[in-house]
Chain A
Amino acid sequence: MTDENKKADDVTEQPAARSSQTPGPGLKRRDLLRNVGVGSVAAGLGSATYLQGLNLGRMRAMAQDTGPVKIGFIEDESGNLAVYGLQKLHAAQLAVKEINEGKTLKGDANIGAGMVGVLGKVAANPPVISKEGTALDVVNDGGAQDKADLVFDEDDDILIDSGEQGVLGREVELVSADGQSNNAVWQQLARRMIQQDQVDVLVAGFASAEREAIRPIVDQFSQLYFYTNQYEGGVADANTFCTGPVCEQQVIPTVQYMVENFGPNCYTIAADYNFGQLTAAWTRAFIPLVGGNIVGEEFIPLSVSEFSQVIARIQQTNPDWVMTLLVGQNHHNYYPQAAAAGLKYPMASTVNMAQGYEHKRFPPPSMANMHNAIQYQMEVPTGRNRAFVQRWMEMFPEDQYIGEMAQNTYFTIHLYAKAARLAHTTDQETVRRALELGWGIEAPEGSVFLEPGTHHCAHPIRLAYCDEQHNVSFLRDWPMIQAWWLQRLGVNLIRNPEYKQYVPDEDPYFSFV
């Protein structure tokens, strides 16, 4: 974090335009400071004038009372991560269009987590959704619906009228830029959006590296920031709201299911960077609690694309199932290579299939027997999701897939609009307070709850399963899993603002055995 020393008595020059500090909903003007200190040039190096005059750290991004509401959006539209970035861009465009047309998602502040459950009749097996196309055709409906079990209440229509066009009578504008999968560009773009374009909210980031590159900038300017991606967990930052799932929501259900169904011995192969390391650490910490054990672990550099040695080591160890935490283009080569080598172990992941749609990109049976606990995947066979997919395909008929993170981006932008409406302003501080009321929002995935203290979301989780023909079914549902780890760490960003990311080693209770 940058040190900001502000000495109040060191001012030698008053900047020309100063904002008035008058309170009032939506009427604060942005602090546009232009420094005319020519006299300080000679002493430029030593002058604290600029620091004082610019008053960073206290700079509040202030709303303009007229003009469009700007949503800053940075994703990778080219480069290595383009396959994910383009989906998220389309999601944002769809959400903005719906908001401007006067639509919003159901949901309110201060409504707690959970979905209503009733007793009903279910089929013996879940329906199997075809991998072909985007119509979510049911290949196999799972049998006759004659078993009594708990079912979850579903409403078909979660998109309702908002009562106005845009937000607070102003049009919503998406200011988007391409990060080019390059962190230096991300930083520059983040600064441009915050300082020059003066966006009211920033929605950006796919890889953890990208988020960490811009988070210090976000904190410097106290910019309201949404990170909509799944990640390794631990970000406790008063300016940041993470609406993607975290390890405790994905790793634990997956591991539990796999140990229950396939056996205790797990071999982990993970991408050798933070996300892979930390997720593998979560797997390692949790698996003894359900009676499993890690028989082998391998961290693979991101540049490796040839896996015959990795495959040989797995075969040598002969586990019951394999946990694959592979990220990036090079790593996706593992699946066809393993299938060609005849590797038949059940696989589990928290990253693959739902984001990069490997089951559609690779020919069967590369992804056969893959299990993934996710909060959303395009194949979710609920009424609300079918309606959402249809709306998406009407706007983007060429798209092949709607991934996990794209859906997160979609409901996050709707959530922002709702919070701004409740706050009656787009002033970032006020909207942040509005978000910290805690929000229940109906997303295509199900009911999502934004927790006030941790700035993370509780999600409905499903276990996705990919069969030999790459068709998808959901074998188990967890209606609501909270992001409880930050709570256990005692993070409460309302009472105690922080600006860091926690890692498992800072949690003395992380590993119980």
Chain B
Amino acid sequence: MGLTGGLVPPVIAATGFGGERAMDELAVIASVLYQFGTNAAFLLLCALGLIVILGMMNIINLAHGELMMLGAYTATIAYQRGMPFWLSVVCAFVAVGIFGAILERLVVRRFYGRELGALVVTWGISLILAQGTLVLLGPFMPAIPIPGGNFAVGQYSFSGYWIGMIVVCAALIAALWWLYNRTEIGLHARATMQNATMARALGVNTDRIYMLTFSLGAGLAGMSGALLAPTTSIQPFMGQQFVAPAFITVVVGGAANVIAGALSSSLLLSLVKTPVGFLVGAFWGTVVLLLAALIIIRLIPDGISAAIQRWLERGARVR
């Protein structure tokens, strides 16, 4: 085929010492687990904001990448002004969330029920945001240095920051679960997702729920952008690199259950991508990811979360 990635066999020290061999194997396992975790975390962060909006309003937000870009810029500027990093991330969440609320009020709400019109409008918004940032802030901005050090296991070293990100992702998932399942607003939101008319009839202020959901989705996108900002270069079109992974993760996950969808999809896709990427190369990792997405969508058209939901319901019915 012409790919010179080649197959790199895992290096196992061929010494006679059992202890060293075990250590090397442990290091390889640690490395693979680490890669799996970082791939999943990356996909999850890309997809979270998008899936919240999609799950509630069935709107495909093509400006998602640019919202992440805005979050990254906000965090970078805040950090440059002297704010500690974690505070800049929170700042990005709040700022982009507010921006999302404004956007929803002004533009997006006219497109509920018209998903394809929403597509075009959000594309237009993404153009304005990206080019506007270029005009206003120039082509580049110095990046935030990656916080956290690194530690070594065997001959592999790992970045503390990515470990931290995996933890943050877990915390985010937990927080979202708590929000949707243990608060009143979450209850209203789930009701609106299930049947908006009925919910409105029962007194739920669906307009406010929509606005809050879009705001939350935008805020999450901003936060993801801020978290990913130290690992990437800050420039107006940086959102583009997140759009494809975000979409694929969202579509594979499905919108039936926001949290289950995002989590299961990012884990599954990372499970597919990690071994291939590790053994063969980054290119084949990407190809396998896309092929897996195609196959999963073909087999389970409305996403994994819907399949999980069905399986749970079947289980409940049997009992």
Contacts and interface: CB of A to CB of B under 8 A. Distances in A.
Interface of A: 78-80, 82-83, 86, 272, 280, 296-301, 303-306, 308-310, 312-313, 315-318, 329-330, 332-333, 336-337, 339-343, 360-363
A329 B283 contact: no
B31 interface: yes
Contact of A361 (B32, B140, B231): B140
Contacts of A339: 146
B274 A309 contact: yes
A317 B282 contact: no
B34 A316 contact: no
A309 B39 contact: yes
Given A83-B235, A312-B156, A304 B286 contact: yes
B6 A296 contact: yes
B73 interface: no
Interface stretch (B96-104, B117-125, B157-165, B305-313): B157-165
B143 A363 contact: yes
Contact of B146 (A78, A303, A304, A337): A337
B5 interface: yes
B143 A340 contact: no
Contact of B34 (A308, A340, A362): A308
Nearest to A295: B8
B113 interface: no
Nearest to A344: B157
Contacts of A337: 146, 159, 231
Interface string B19-57: 000000000100110110011001000000000000000
B35 to A, nearest CB: 5
B155 A297 contact: no
Contacts of B241: 303, 305, 329-330
Nearest to A281: B4
Contacts of B35: 308-309, 312
30 contacts: A80-B237, A83-B140, A296-B6, A298-B282, A299-B3, A300-B282, A301-B283, A305-B241, A308-B39, A308-B159, A309-B282, A310-B282, A312-B156, A315-B155, A316-B8, A316-B10, A316-B31, A316-B156, A329-B238, A333-B231, A337-B159, A340-B159, A340-B231, A341-B150, A341-B158, A341-B162, A342-B149, A342-B151, A342-B157, A361-B143
A336 B145 contact: yes
Interface in B137-174: 139-140, 142-146, 148-152, 155-162
Given A308-B35, A312-B34, A312-B35, A303 B286 contact: yes
Given A308-B159, A340-B160, 13 more contacts: A82-B139, A306-B231, A312-B31, A313-B8, A315-B157, A316-B11, A317-B11, A329-B238, A332-B233, A340-B148, A340-B162, A341-B162, A342-B159
A363 B281 contact: no
A332 to B, nearest CB: 5
Interface string B258-298: 00000000000000001001100111011000000000000
B232 interface: yes
A298 B131 CA distance: 33
A300 B283 contact: yes
A402 to B, nearest CB: 15
B38 A79 contact: no
Nearest to A364: B145
Contacts of A303: 241, 244, 286
A274 to B, nearest CB: 13
Given A301-B286, A312-B278, A336-B145, A317 B134 contact: no
Contact of B150 (A78, A309, A316, A342): A342
B233 A333 contact: yes
A80 B130 CA distance: 11
Contacts of B143: 336, 361-363
Contacts of B233: 329, 332-333, 361-362
Given A80-B237, A303-B244, A318-B155, A297 B278 contact: no
B237 A305 contact: no
Contacts of A318: 11, 155
Contact of A329 (B38, B151, B237): B237
A188 to B, nearest CB: 19
Contact of A298 (B155, B156, B235, B281): B281
A316 B237 contact: no
A316 B155 contact: yes
Contacts of A306: 38-39, 42, 231
Contacts of A80: 237
Contacts of B145: 336, 363
Given A82-B134, A315-B155, A336-B145, A308 B162 contact: yes
A83 B282 contact: no
A300 B282 CA distance: 6
Given A329-B237, A330-B241, A343 B3 contact: no
A391 B275 CA distance: 54
A315 B149 CA distance: 17
B219 interface: no
A343 B157 contact: yes
A317 B278 CA distance: 12
A316 B140 CA distance: 34
B8 A317 contact: yes
A297 B131 contact: no
B157 A304 contact: no
Interface string B232-258: 110101100100100000000000000
A337 B142 CA distance: 15
B230 interface: yes
